[in-house]
């Protein structure tokens, strides 16, 4: 039972994985990438997310391995803090509070206890590179205010700054300038490229810069696709550069291999180019990477590369240029024209992703499930090319059918339109194309919806179009003599005074169809396709239309462009109520009567949740986000929550997700931020990270048995033992990760001292009971077969308050006691 808190708007995954370069761990086992406010740790072998490092309160803007301890990770964020993480265990080690918004983070091995960040000056768009001294302190949160200025007028993107030759110099590029600052000489060398004077040099702008790991060589990428290798830049006059030119569009990112023998570059061509020995003739390609390469990074071990793509994808690539793994986030490359939908089968969020594809995205695991290729044509990445666009999609009949609409418009008069109907194939567990209809309408299709109830056993689809018609499509037997094939045909064409049809909607029981024609709503009987009645409010064109559900099924809701929300009663055929609300998104909850409406105001977006039966909203959330909310959807919960407070009841059955203009996927959460943090950041995960091989099970059991025996003996002998939980030295010893502990010799005396029995143990009487209880529980658990689940349970059953960090897990306690027991007996024998 989760404690009820206030509702907060939270980012819910689907964040950009390609915001910054991904970082490899030293052993190339893990790959780190920023993901909104979090840092995600993926396994390079399995593509699975191993940890999510929570803690920042704003976008994470940079991550880097600690150069002095490769098991730690630095991160910086727009919230003005630098955090140090233990990524193996997912623990936040330290927080350094810097203050201003941090845009990028850099370190190098020679910079002891200081890192470099870019911050913006007072004026916007002017950034400077500063070094931050990280004070040595044992506190969790440390203020790091000692900033020293390095370079001014730098580009905010971390791709435009690079440290070279173990921190001897830093290279920064901006527009047409390359500046190199030498730390030892405290001198800056500036190099300028000829700029816009003529056509040839117009695209000389720098886009990115990297430094050679071994030699004094700077590689810079340019807008026109050239890569320049700068050398001899210690001298303002004698500097020289070489050009490498293969890309025809801008170079998005560059990376040197660990030894510096090859240079990797990528751009809009979706091809990773490897330049060997820095020569133009000797290059290798990895083509067809799917979309624009935004970032390239190289593992410190040198065996892996990875490319981040504009479609929110990270591709892990072997040294021999074989793509080995793909980590795909929510694709947010282009405008979302299909809106948000929920696949009734997988409960996955469905929207258009890669060009011409429909993506199925699991909200629970923040992972793309799969892509459905709708257009089935090779995408050619070229400016000015008019592509076929996937504009509409709808699921019907509990996920058995999927309808999609694609269009391509070269100019005003030429419109290519295609509607495809896909059926779910249980064998292949995927959608298979059933019917393809070219030019289903003469003009743009504005809406399509399936009937929720099969009409005489026939699935029904309605499409509304700007050509003034709505068409009803039903599934019929195809003209096959075996009567096995089925296909969709047009059953009815309806129109109303040549007005453009703008929306369509079926009632919950499928008996009525509402179609809006500009300002007029028409209600049709779905059995006879007879016009039943019309509603007209003369309040502007209808923007949304939906029927009420469950107890409110007699209501029809509509919103207009003039900012009126209307509710009609279908029984009395009259307006029940109306409200002045400029609704940009209206979504009914499929599991309740609730309807969510997001209204747009210049300040921000507000959310109203209401039942159609009463004009009073159930819940209002002002200032949902600063940006315009474009789409929203209710996703049914797997396990219904049971909030009792009125404000939260609407979240019991479904969760509301919405997408803003900048394509942030947001939702509502009732959990407090601290609570969200607990599961990963405050528990030791060393045991869980053991691989569950057959050996593990065998050994695990073996280890268990002596434990049990010991426990039995313990039961008899444990009389005078002190309560270990209360000894701080042991706590500290056991809770600190091994690699940050001081040396064993240093700890030894403290540890032994702590074990010595003090004569004034006042807790001696309480203690046996406590342990007895534990033992009982232990023996109960050990009856269970699987040792693994038992341990997991233990972590769950720890009913801990705020002092969770000072408590041992049971297994550790046991381990410690056993150790002490043995020790003690040995002393006694002497």
Partner 1 sequence: MGEFKVHRVRFFNYVPPGIRCVAYNNQSNRLAVSRTDGTVEIYNLSANYFQEKFFPGHESRSTEALCWAEGQRLFSAGLNGEILEYDLQTLNIKYALDASGGPIWSLAASPSGSQLLVGCEDGSVKLFEVTPDKIQFARNFDRQKSRILSLSWHPAGTHIAAGSIDYISVFDVKSGSTLRKMIVDRQHLGMTKSKCIVWGVAFLSDGTVISVDSVGKVQLWDSATGTLVKSHLIANADVQSIAVADQEDSFVVGTAEGTVFHFQLVSVTSNSSEKQWVRTKPFQHHTHDVRTVAHSPTALISGGTDTHLVIRPLMEKVEVKNYDAALRKITFPHRRLVSCSKRRQLLLFQFAHHLELWRLGSTAATGKNGDTLPLSKNADHLLHLKTKGPENIICSCISPCGSWIAYSTASRFFLYRLKYVRDNISLQRVSKMPAFLRSALHILFSEDSTKLFVASNQGSLHIIQLLEGSFKHLHSFQPQSGTVEAMCLLAVSPDGNWLAASGTSAGVHVYNLNHLKLHCTVPAYSFPVTALAIAPNTNNLVIAHSDQQVFEFSIPDKQYTEWSRTVQKQGFHQLWLQRDTPITHISFHPKRPMHILLHDAYMFCIIDKSLPLPNDKAVLYNPLPPKDESDVFLRRTTHAFKISKIYKPLLFMDLLDERTLVAVERPLDDIIAQLPPPIKKKKFGT
Letters for 746-785 (x = contact with partner 1 by CB under 8 A, - = none) are: ----------------------------------------
Q: How far is the CB of 182 from partner 1 (least distance, A)?
A: 8
Identify the residue among 8, 70, 133, 214 touching partner 1 (CB under 8 A). 214
Identify the residue among 216, 707, 775, 781 touching partner 1 (CB under 8 A). 216
| Chain position carrying tokens 């047009």 | 490
Nearer residue to partner 1 within complex by CB, 281 or 427: 281
Nearer residue to partner 1 within complex by CB, 58 or 165: 165
- The rounded distance, in Å, linking the Cα atoms of 705 and 707 is 5
Q: Which residues have C-beta within 8 Å of that of residue 539, sequence separation ≥ 6?
A: 519, 560, 562, 564, 566
Torsion sign, CA atoms 440, 443, 448, 454: negative
The reply on whether position 242 binds partner 1 by CB under 8 A is yes
The reply on whether position 466 binds partner 1 by CB under 8 A is no
Q: How far is the CB of 521 from partner 1 (least distance, A)?
A: 54
Dihedral of the alpha carbons of 718, 719, 723, 724, in degrees to the nearest 10: -40
Q: How far is the CB of 152 from partner 1 (least distance, A)?
A: 23
Is residue 83 within 8 Å of residue 92, measured between CB atoms? yes
Nearer residue to partner 1 within complex by CB, 132 or 210: 210
Nearer residue to partner 1 within complex by CB, 227 or 229: 229
The reply on whether position 283 binds partner 1 by CB under 8 A is no
Q: Which tokens hold the place of 654?
A: 């479904």
- The rounded distance, in Å, linking the Cα atoms of 614 and 551 is 12
For the chain, the helix, strand and coil percentages under 3-state DSSP, each to the nearest 5:
15, 45, 40
Q: How far is the CB of 109 from partner 1 (least distance, A)?
A: 15
Q: How far is the CB of 307 from partner 1 (least distance, A)?
A: 23
Spell out where 107-185 has E strands: 114-120, 127-133, 141-143, 147-154, 161-164, 169-174, 177-182
The reply on whether position 489 binds partner 1 by CB under 8 A is no
The reply on whether position 215 binds partner 1 by CB under 8 A is yes
Near partner 1 in 6-45, by CB under 8 A: none
Provide Rg for the chain, Cα atoms: 32
- The rounded distance, in Å, linking the Cα atoms of 331 and 372 is 13
Kind and range of the H or E element at 726? none
Nearer residue to partner 1 within complex by CB, 110 or 793: 110
Identify the residue among 121, 248, 318, 777 touching partner 1 (CB under 8 A). 248
- The rounded distance, in Å, linking the Cα atoms of 416 and 436 is 13
Identify the residue among 26, 126, 243, 620 touching partner 1 (CB under 8 A). 243
Torsion sign, CA atoms 697, 698, 703, 706: positive
Collapsing DSSP to helix, strand or coil, 285 comes out as strand
**553: closest CA among 481, 611, 615, 632?**
611
The reply on whether position 234 binds partner 1 by CB under 8 A is yes
Near partner 1 in 120-179, by CB under 8 A: 165, 168
The reply on whether position 114 binds partner 1 by CB under 8 A is no
The reply on whether position 499 binds partner 1 by CB under 8 A is no
Q: How far is the CB of 238 from partner 1 (least distance, A)?
A: 5
The reply on whether position 238 binds partner 1 by CB under 8 A is yes
The reply on whether position 195 binds partner 1 by CB under 8 A is no
Nearer residue to partner 1 within complex by CB, 248 or 739: 248
Q: Which stretch binds partner 1 (CB under 8 A): 59-67, 278-286, 530-538, 733-741?
A: 278-286
Q: Which stretch binds partner 1 (CB under 8 A): 191-199, 231-239, 470-478, 529-537?
A: 231-239
Identify the residue among 109, 282, 398, 692 touching partner 1 (CB under 8 A). 282
Nearer residue to partner 1 within complex by CB, 279 or 534: 279
Query: What is the size of the binding site for partner 1 (CB under 8 A)?
Result: 23
Q: How far is the CB of 260 from partner 1 (least distance, A)?
A: 10
The reply on whether position 508 binds partner 1 by CB under 8 A is no
N- to C-terminal Cα separation, the chain? 53
Q: Which stretch binds partner 1 (CB under 8 A): 213-221, 416-424, 466-474, 548-556?
A: 213-221
- The rounded distance, in Å, linking the Cα atoms of 507 and 514 is 8
Could you tell me the CA-to-CA distances from 518 to 457, 515, 547, 553 in Å, in that order? 32, 10, 18, 23
The reply on whether position 239 binds partner 1 by CB under 8 A is yes
Kind and range of the H or E element at 439? none
Compute the half-sphere exposure of residue 33: CA atoms within 13 Å on the CB side of its CA.
Answer: 33
Identify the residue among 14, 62, 278, 329 touching partner 1 (CB under 8 A). 278
Is residue 596 within 8 Å of residue 583, measured between CB atoms? no
Q: How far is the CB of 282 from partner 1 (least distance, A)?
A: 6
- The rounded distance, in Å, linking the Cα atoms of 199 and 396 is 54
Collapsing DSSP to helix, strand or coil, 22 comes out as coil
- The rounded distance, in Å, linking the Cα atoms of 673 and 766 is 36
Q: Which tokens hold the place of 51?
A: 């940890």
Q: How far is the CB of 446 from partner 1 (least distance, A)?
A: 40
The reply on whether position 241 binds partner 1 by CB under 8 A is yes
Which residues in this chain contact partner 1 in the complex, by CB under 8 A? Answer: 165, 168, 214-216, 229, 231-232, 234-235, 237-243, 248, 278-282
């Amino acid at each position: 039972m989760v404690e009820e808190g206030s509702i907060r708007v939270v980012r819910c995954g689907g964040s950009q994985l390609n915001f910054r370069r991904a970082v490899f761990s030293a052993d190339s086992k893990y790959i780190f990438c920023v993901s909104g406010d979090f840092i995600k740790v993926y396994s390079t072998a399995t593509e699975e997310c191993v940890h999510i490092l929570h803690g920042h309160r704003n976008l994470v803007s940079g991550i880097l391995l600690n150069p002095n301890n490769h098991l730690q990770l630095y991160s910086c964020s727009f919230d003005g803090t630098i955090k140090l993480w233990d990524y193996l265990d997912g623990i936040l080690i330290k927080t350094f509070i810097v203050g201003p918004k941090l845009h990028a983070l850099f370190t190098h091995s020679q910079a002891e206890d200081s890192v470099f960040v870019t911050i913006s000056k007072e004026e916007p768009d002017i950034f400077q590179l500063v070094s931050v001294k990280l004070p040595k302190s044992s506190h969790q949160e440390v203020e790091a205010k000692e900033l020293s200025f390095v370079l001014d007028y730098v580009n905010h993107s971390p791709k435009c700054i690079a440290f070279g030759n173990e921190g001897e110099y830093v290279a920064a590029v901006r527009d047409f300038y390359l500046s190199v600052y030498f730390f030892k000489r405290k001198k800056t060398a500036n190099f300028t490229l000829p700029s816009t004077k003529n056509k040839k040099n117009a695209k000389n702008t720098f886009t990115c810069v990297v430094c050679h790991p071994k030699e004094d060589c700077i590689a810079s990428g340019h807008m026109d696709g050239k890569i320049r290798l700068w050398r001899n830049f210690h001298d303002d006059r004698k500097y020289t550069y070489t050009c490498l030119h293969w890309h025809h569009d801008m170079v998005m990112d560059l990376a040197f291999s660990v030894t510096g023998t090859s240079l990797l570059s990528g751009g809009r061509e979706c091809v990773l180019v490897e330049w060997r020995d820095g020569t133009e003739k000797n290059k290798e390609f990895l083509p067809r990477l799917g979309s624009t390469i935004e970032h390239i990074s190289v593992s410190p071990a040198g065996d892996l590369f990875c490319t981040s793509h504009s479609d929110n994808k990270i591709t892990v690539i072997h040294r021999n240029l074989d793509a080995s793994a793909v980590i795909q986030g929510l694709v947010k490359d282009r405008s979302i024209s299909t809106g948000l939908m929920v696949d009734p089968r997988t409960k996955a969020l469905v929207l258009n992703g890669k060009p011409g594809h429909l993506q199925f995205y699991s909200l629970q695991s923040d992972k793309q499930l799969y892509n459905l290729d709708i257009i089935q044509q090779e995408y050619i990445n070229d400016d000015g090319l008019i592509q076929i666009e996937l504009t509409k999609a709808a699921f019907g009949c509990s996920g058995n059918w999927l309808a999609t609409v694609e269009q391509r418009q070269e100019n005003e008069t030429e419109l290519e339109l295609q509607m495809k109907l896909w059926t779910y194939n249980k064998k292949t567990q995927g959608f298979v194309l059933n019917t393809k209809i070219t030019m289903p309408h003469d003009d743009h299709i504005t809406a399509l919806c399936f009937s929720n109830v099969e009409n005489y056993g026939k699935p029904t689809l309605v499409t509304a179009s700007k050509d003034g018609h709505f068409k009803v499509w039903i599934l019929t037997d195809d003209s096959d003599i075996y009567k096995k094939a089925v296909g969709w045909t047009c059953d009815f064409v309806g129109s109303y005074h040549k007005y453009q049809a703008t929306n369509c909607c079926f009632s919950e029981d499928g008996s009525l169809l509402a179609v809006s024609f500009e300002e007029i709503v028409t209600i049709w009987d779905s059995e006879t396709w007879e016009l039943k009645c019309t509603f007209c409010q003369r309040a502007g064109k209808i923007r949304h239309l939906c029927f009420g559900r469950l107890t409110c099924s007699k209501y029809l809701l509509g919103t207009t462009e003039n900012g009126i929300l209307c509710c009609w009663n279908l029984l009395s055929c009259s307006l029940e109520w109306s409200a002045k609300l400029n609704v940009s998104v209206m979504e009914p909850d499929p599991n309740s009567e609730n309807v969510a409406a997001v209204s747009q105001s210049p300040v921000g977006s507000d959310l109203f949740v209401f039942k159609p039966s009463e004009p009073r909203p159930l819940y209002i959330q002002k200032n949902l986000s600063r940006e315009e909310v474009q789409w929203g959807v209710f996703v049914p919960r797997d396990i219904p929550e049971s909030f009792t407070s009125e404000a939260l009841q609407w979240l019991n059955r479904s969760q509301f997700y919405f997408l803003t203009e900048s394509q942030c996927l947001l939702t509502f959460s009732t959990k407090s931020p601290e609570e969200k943090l607990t599961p990963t950041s405050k528990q030791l995960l060393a045991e869980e990270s053991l691989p569950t091989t057959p050996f593990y099970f065998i050994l695990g059991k073996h280890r268990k048995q002596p434990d049990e025996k010991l426990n039995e003996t313990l039961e008899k002998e444990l009389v005078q033992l002190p309560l270990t939980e209360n000894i701080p030295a042991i706590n500290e010893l056991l809770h600190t990760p091994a690699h940050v502990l001081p040396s064993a010799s240093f700890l030894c005396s403290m540890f032994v001292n702590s074990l010595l029995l003090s004569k004034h143990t006042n807790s001696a009487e309480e203690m046996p009971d406590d342990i007895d209880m534990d033992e009982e529980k232990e023996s109960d658990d050990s009856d269970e077969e699987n040792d693994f689940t038992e341990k997991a349970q233990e972590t769950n059953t720890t009913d801990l308050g705020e002092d969770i960090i000072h408590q041992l897990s049971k297994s550790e306690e046991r381990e410690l006691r056993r150790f002490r027991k043995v020790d003690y007996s040995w002393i006694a024998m002497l």
